[in-house]
A = this chain, B = another copy of it.
Amino acid sequence: MEPMLVSFLGGDRGQWSVDRMLTVIGAGLQPVQRVAILEGSDGVHVASHTTWVLRGVTSHDRYVAAEERTALAAHRAPLGRPSATAAALIPIRKKSVWWELPQDERRAIFEERSHHIARSLTYLPQIARRLHHGRDLLEPFDFLTWFEFAPRDMAAFDELVGILRSTEEWTYVEREVDIRLTRAS
């Protein structure tokens, strides 16, 4: 699994039509009508119709342990399913104090105390998910998570997001925007 650079271009073009943008905490993002997703490290030529570009890298797992990996693999769904016409893009930045924690304390908050993986598992494979890391790229957001699901699973997705926002882990989030989209093409 080589890292892959993915760029999310907000503007008035792209495959995904924006239904709503909610600023959950911290500074928001300028409203856009469409989001285009570019995969691969080819130079992104930001055109006049692009309002913002968020970049992240698909990369190796940072907290997942061996048995969790197995459980996730058994339930994971791919992106691009024809039925999955609804999507969410959730950019998140965590507080400095999170990144200053040693690895074992971050892991304990993430899973042993917030059950990030265990609670998410229940919602797979209905919700497909891809995580992009932006922190080492000096991006404004540490994580860009892209979710795809069928419109009928939107309530379940809202429930999952609500659960994750009620955890101890989430108290370390300083900026979050929740963008909901529908496949336009």
B-binding residues in A (CB < 8 A): 1-3, 5, 41, 57, 59-66, 68-69, 96, 99-100, 102-105, 107, 133, 135-138
Contact = CB atoms under 8 A, between A and B. Distances in A.
A68 B62 CA distance: 19
B138 A102 contact: no
Contact of A135 (B59, B99, B100): B59
A99 B68 CA distance: 16
16 contacts: A1-B96, A3-B135, A3-B136, A5-B138, A41-B138, A57-B138, A59-B135, A59-B136, A60-B100, A61-B102, A65-B102, A65-B104, A66-B105, A133-B136, A136-B137, A137-B137
Contacts of A135: 3, 59-60
Contacts of A104: 65-66
Contacts of A107: 103
Nearest to A69: B102
A61 B1 CA distance: 22
A5 B104 CA distance: 25
Contact of A96 (B2, B62, B65): B2
Contacts of A96: 1-2
A94 B103 CA distance: 20
A175 B96 CA distance: 33
Contact of A100 (B1, B105, B133, B136): B1
B138 A103 contact: no
A58 to B, nearest CB: 10
Contacts of A137: 136-137
A110 to B, nearest CB: 10
